[in-house]
């Protein structure tokens, strides 16, 4: 699937913390029905075979909605499921290894400051996940990145940037005119009784992003 900047507008990152009787597959499908534009499958505790099988099923689901599937961190799962891309952190596998073993795919990189953003861009990242923008329960060891710092980074970095970390329906308006391509969210979508409606509501707030 050919990457376009618009794919980053509303980026859903999965989390099993709020299944509430649903399967993860069911929750992701609800988010897709609500209009998410990219899905990252994040599994820190599944074994390889389970993760791979889930990735294969999620890719088929996402492609029915013409949405790319990104695998968090696990290059073997990304390769063997033929996912659309991978997202890596600062302490994960290097971009050079990803490009060699998983060529012509989307490569997302988490960055916390301008220095990390510059390095990722120079090394060939497709997009950046910048944060944490606000305090977040899913990443308790991060220091929030100020809105002014985010604006500075988007003015310097040329590849698309997704804001991530603690973003909700109530605070997303603070990101207006920051130059981001989109937002990446976890609980703002999945920690809701009505995932379809919460996704649609967030998407409606993203009209200021080109």
pLDDT by residue for the chain (210 residues), tens only, comes to: 899 999 999 999 999 988 988 999 999 999 999 999 999 999 999 999 999 999 999 999 999 999 999 999 999 999 999 999 999 999 999 999 999 999 999 999 999 999 999 999 999 999 999 999 997 665 556 678 999 999 999 999 999 999 999 999 999 999 999 999 999 999 999 999 999 999 999 999 987 665
Residues 143, 210: Cα–Cα separation, whole Å: 28
Residues 109, 149: Cα–Cα separation, whole Å: 18
- C-alpha pair distances (Å), 182 with each of 11, 57, 130, 163: 7, 25, 11, 6
Helix (H, G, I), strand (E, B) or coil at 25: helix
Helix (H, G, I), strand (E, B) or coil at 137: coil
b (16+ CB within 10 A) / e for 82-104: ebbbbbbeeebeebeebeeebee
Confidence (pLDDT) at 70: 99
Confidence (pLDDT) at 76: 98
159 by Cβ neighbours in 10 Å (0-12 / 13-18 / 19+) ranks as: middle
pTM, two decimal places: 0.95
Contacts of 107 (CB under 8 A, 6+ apart): 85, 86, 87, 88, 95, 98, 99, 124, 125, 126
Kindly calculate the radius of gyration of the chain based on its CA atoms and give it in whole angstroms.
16
Tell me how far the alpha carbon of residue 41 is from its chain's centroid: 9
Residues 137, 31: Cα–Cα separation, whole Å: 20
**Omega cis (within 30) before 192:** no
């Amino acid at each position: 699937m050919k990457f376009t900047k618009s794919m980053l507008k509303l980026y859903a990152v999965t989390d099993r913390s709020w299944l509430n009787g649903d399967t993860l597959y069911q929750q992701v499908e609800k988010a897709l029905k609500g209009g998410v534009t990219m899905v990252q499958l994040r599994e820190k505790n599944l074994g390889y075979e389970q993760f791979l099988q889930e990735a294969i099923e999620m890719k088929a689901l996402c492609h029915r909605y013409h949405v790319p599937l990104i695998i968090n961190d696990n290059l073997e799962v990304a390769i063997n499921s033929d996912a659309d891309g991978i997202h890596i952190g600062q302490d994960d596998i290097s971009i050079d290894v990803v490009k060699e073993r998983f060529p012509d795919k989307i490569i997302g990189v988490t960055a916390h400051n301008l220095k990390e953003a510059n390095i990722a861009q120079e090394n060939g990242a497709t997009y950046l996940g910048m944060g944490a923008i606000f305090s977040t329960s899913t990443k308790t060891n991060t220091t929030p990145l100020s809105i002014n710092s985010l604006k500075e980074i988007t003015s310097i970095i040329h590849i698309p940037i997704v804001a991530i970390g603690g973003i909700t329906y109530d605070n997303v308006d603070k990101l207006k005119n920051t130059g981001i391509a989109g937002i990446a969210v976890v609980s703002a979508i999945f920690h809701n009784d009505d995932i379809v409606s919460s996704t649609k509501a967030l998407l409606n707030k993203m009209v200021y992003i080109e």
